[in-house]
Amino acid sequence: MKVAVVDESAARASIIVEGLAELAGCELFVLTDRRGLLSEIEKIAPDIVLIDLGNPSRDVLEEYFVVSRALARPIAMFVDESDDDAIAASIDAGVSAYVVDGLSANRIRPLLDLAVRRFNAFARLQTDLAEAKGKLAERDTVDRAKRILMDSKKVTEPEAYGELRRKAMSSNKRIFEIAEAVVTAHELMGGAE
Amino acid sequence: MSEQLTIGFLPLVDACLPILAHEHGFAKEEGLHLTFVRDVSWATVLDRLLYGHTDAAHLVAPLAIATTLGRGRPAQPLSAPFVLGLNGNAVTLSSELAARVVTPGLFGDPRACGEELRVEAAAALERGRKLRFGVVHRYSSHNYKLRYWLAASGIRPDEDVEIVTVAPPFVADALGTGEIDGACVGEPWNSVCVERGVGTIVLATAQIWRRGVEKVLAMREPVLEAKRPQVEALIRAMRKAGRHFINSQTWDDSAEILARPEYLGADAALIYRSIADRLILTPGGRPVHYPDFMFQHSEAANFPWVSQAQWLYSQMVRWDHLEFSSEDAETAARVFRPDVYRSALKGTGDALPGANSKVEGSLDQPMQVSTQQGTITLSPNAFFDGSSFDPARIEDYLDGLP
């Protein structure tokens, strides 16, 4: 069974492919480039095509499947077909599947389930990464606010931090919000970076 | 107590009415809270609608009909109670080709430009490399208007040239690399081509059909029935947004809102051009005013004329090479829901036409039409080749087309 994974994110594609590699009898192809996509698909003649919902090439791909003269052309899987839940889950996860007619459900199902799990896992990774980045950015702002206070009020680092914390507690805000206000004010007053 | 509605859209200027209804508080006035889901392909906008991620969607009108008829997928009944606007698209050609078929910097005359293009298409065919045009979707008004113009100009769209699907954000790229020679696409993507120096705008789709239907607000039929009061509230809010949108005082502001990353994520100056009906057609050129380039409000522009759905069905028959079926024609006609539009606006000061259907393209001068409430004077609404579409005689119409 030939499976093509179309994804502009090479990172996500590799995570999905790694998951699908567990399945026996699957030959996997990864397509990340918009250019030449259709000719690649034509060459591969996949039984299943997985493409992320956020891929702008979806309309192009669907159009190709409609007009393709190939006998075994993949068509989109839809709600009213037997495997409602699997398809709904895949849409929720952000992946759409195109499958050639006649491929039995018990061959598609495990593959789709795995793809969905991998998509969800990737989404979680991204959320974690975004959170981690957010925290780093917050810490950076707090550091800058501390330096501003240390310079302008000639206080030590723990004292500067103490002031930020006191202000946060008394105004019922987070330390980061106070720090952000300090940095913004400093910039407005023409303070150097 | 505010009711939630989630609306899917593609980053195009004609997604403006629901967005502005939200941003200017018109939705809130009607007791609605709108949230938006931005996507980059019509396939995904449609999937989210069908699987319930969204309640309603900004959708190319023919796709709503194709989905209802089960073209390419199992049939799912969709309803369109509101037309989001008329026209607003353009034909952009590679600057080299444009210079051979129009005077760059002016909108072409669709007949003369079509005639020149026919010569170019024939020459390209002779050289063994057909001219290739991009459209945003097989089931889009872009595709149907481009094909209408080509066919009426003596160019057979499926034989003499090639028409391929290109996602709007990639149109400029595809023109730049020579992958396509031209495209019919919505704004701001024509202006992006001009700005990047890869294309010249030669025609507005409004020149092909002066009052051609464009995007609709589409919903699953059962969802429309279940959320009828909210949908009617949304229709009222979008009518208010439309009144606001066409006031020239608001253009800068609208362009700035639509430009935000969560909506179009594009340059406000480019968006402004289509809102103001003043497009820059050539790289470094001056704005050219073409009135009603996009038409979002006046003359009951949002009214879902059943005859418009029927025209779209006629084009589906024409280009998908289907047998005309009066049953399908009926099903397609029912996608447009003037009854919902009427009940939403009944008793407001807004104008409602008296009829649900009209002969499309029949007006060559302004005409005051009978109304249910208010007054409506329809402007000329011609097709460029002078033909008109009588929804009672779709088969005759199809027989008469080239």
Residue B1 has pLDDT above 80, yes or no: no
CATH number at residue A139: 1.10.10.10
Q: Are residues A100 and A148 in the same domain?
A: no
Nearest to B41 among A56, A81, A87 (CB): A56
Query: Can you give the pLDDT at residue B394?
Result: 97
Contacts with A, B 137-156, CB within 8 Å = 137-138
Contacts of A76 in chain B (CB under 8 A): 43, 72-73
pLDDT category, A78, cuts 50, 70, 90? low
Contacts of A60 in chain B (CB under 8 A): 164-167
**What residues pair up with B353 in beta bridges, in sequence order?**
B371
Nearest to A60 among B73, B76, B166 (CB): B166
The helix-helix angle for B16-23 and B228-245 (nearest 10°) equals: 90
CB contact (8 A) between residue A91 and residue B53: yes
Query: Can you give the pLDDT at residue A133?
Result: 87
Contacts of B180 in chain A (CB under 8 A): none
Q: B384-400 burial, b if ≥16 CB within 10 A, otherwise e?
A: bbeebbbbeebeebeee
Query: Can you give the pLDDT at residue A191?
Result: 67
Q: What is the residue range of A176's domain?
A: 131-188
Number of domains into which chain B is organized: 1
pLDDT category, B196, cuts 50, 70, 90? very high
Q: Which residue of A has its CA nearest to B170?
A: A56
Q: Are residues A68 and A51 in the same domain?
A: yes
pLDDT tens figures, B54-104: 999 999 999 999 999 999 778 999 999 999 999 999 999 999 999 999 999
Contacts of B178 in chain A (CB under 8 A): none
CB contact (8 A) between residue B170 and residue A56: yes
Q: Are residues A123 and A28 in the same domain?
A: yes
Q: Are residues A79 and A111 in the same domain?
A: yes
CATH number at residue B136: 3.40.190.10
Q: Are residues A121 and A135 in the same domain?
A: no
Q: Are residues A123 and A140 in the same domain?
A: no
Query: Can you give the pLDDT at residue A16?
Result: 87
Q: Is A114 a domain residue?
A: yes
CATH number at residue A42: 3.40.190
Residue A144 has pLDDT above 80, yes or no: yes
B321 interfacial to chain A (CB closer than 8 Å): no
| Best residue of B39, B78, B165, B322 to probe chain A, by most A CBs closer than 10 Å | B165
pLDDT tens figures, B129-170: 999 999 999 999 999 999 999 999 999 999 999 999 999 989
CB contact (8 A) between residue A56 and residue B169: yes
CB contact (8 A) between residue A59 and residue B51: no
Q: Which of A181-190, B264-273, B376-385 shows the lowest mean pLDDT across its residues?
A: A181-190
B40 interfacial to chain A (CB closer than 8 Å): yes
Which has the higher per-residue pLDDT, A34 or B11? B11
**Chain A residues with a Cβ under 8 Å from any Cβ in chain B:** 34, 53-60, 62-64, 66, 75-76, 78-81, 87-88, 91-92, 96
* Sequence-separated (6 or more) residues with CB below 8 Å from residue B225: none
B358 interfacial to chain A (CB closer than 8 Å): no
| Best residue of B38, B45, B50, B51 to probe chain A, by most A CBs closer than 10 Å | B51
pLDDT category, A112, cuts 50, 70, 90? confident
Q: Are residues A48 and A78 in the same domain?
A: yes
CB contact (8 A) between residue B47 and residue A66: no
Q: Are residues A21 and A106 in the same domain?
A: yes
Residue ending a domain, choose from A106, A127, A148:
A127
Query: Can you give the pLDDT at residue B114?
Result: 97
Query: Can you give the pLDDT at residue A76?
Result: 74
Q: Is A193 a domain residue?
A: no
Nearest to B167 among A53, A60, A64 (CB): A60
Query: Can you give the pLDDT at residue A83?
Result: 63
Q: Which of B214, B199, B210 is nearest to B85 (CA)?
A: B214
Q: What is the residue range of B112's domain?
A: 89-210
Number of domains into which chain A is organized: 2
pLDDT tens figures, B176-189: 999 999 999 999 99
- CA dihedral of A164, A166, A171, A174, whole degrees rounded to 10: 50
Contacts of B167 in chain A (CB under 8 A): 56-57, 59-60
Contacts of A78 in chain B (CB under 8 A): 50, 73-74
Exposure on the CB side of residue A124, measured as CA atoms within 13 A: 7
Q: Is B198 a domain residue?
A: yes
How high is the mean pLDDT of chain B?
96
* Sequence-separated (6 or more) residues with CB below 8 Å from residue A37: A6, A31, A57, A60, A61
Mean pLDDT in residue range B260-270:
96
- SS3 category, B14: helix
Q: Is A110 a domain residue?
A: yes
Please provide the size of chain A in residues. Answer: 193
Q: Are residues A37 and A107 in the same domain?
A: yes
Q: Is B195 a domain residue?
A: yes
Q: Is A171 a domain residue?
A: yes
For residue B68, give how far its alpha carbon lies from the nearest alpha carbon of chain A (Å).
Answer: 14
Q: Is A70 a domain residue?
A: yes
Q: Are residues A115 and A146 in the same domain?
A: no
pLDDT category, A104, cuts 50, 70, 90? confident
Q: Are residues A141 and A52 in the same domain?
A: no
pLDDT category, A82, cuts 50, 70, 90? low
| Best residue of B12, B37, B39, B44 to probe chain A, by most A CBs closer than 10 Å | B44
Contacts of B42 in chain A (CB under 8 A): 59
Q: Is B2 a domain residue?
A: no
Query: Can you give the pLDDT at residue A123?
Result: 83
Contacts of A57 in chain B (CB under 8 A): 41, 167
Residue ending a domain, choose from A127, A145, A175:
A127
Residue A71 has pLDDT above 70, yes or no: no
Q: Are residues A123 and A162 in the same domain?
A: no
Residue ending a domain, choose from A127, A143, A160:
A127
Nearest to B47 among A63, A80, A91 (CB): A91
Mean pLDDT in residue range B331-356:
97
Mean pLDDT in residue range B337-358:
97
Query: Can you give the pLDDT at residue A116?
Result: 86
Nearest to A59 among B50, B73, B137 (CB): B137
Looking only at the bridges linking them, the beta strands covering B132-135 and B162-165 are: parallel
Q: Is B189 a domain residue?
A: yes
B172 interfacial to chain A (CB closer than 8 Å): no
Query: Can you give the pLDDT at residue B336?
Result: 98
Q: Is B380 a domain residue?
A: no
Model-level pTM? 0.88
Query: How would DSSP label each residue in B97-153?
Result: HHHHHS-TTSPPPHHHHHHHHHHHHHHHHHHT---EEEES-TTSHHHHHHHHHHHHT
How high is the mean pLDDT of chain A?
86
Integer Cα distance of B38 and B46 in angstroms: 12
Mean pLDDT in residue range B240-256:
97
Q: Is B14 a domain residue?
A: no
Query: Can you give the pLDDT at residue B80?
Result: 98
Q: Is B187 a domain residue?
A: yes
Nearest to B41 among A59, A75, A88 (CB): A59
pLDDT tens figures, B229-246: 999 999 999 999 999 999
> With a cut of 0.85, is the ipTM above it?
yes
Residue A90 token pair = 């895949």
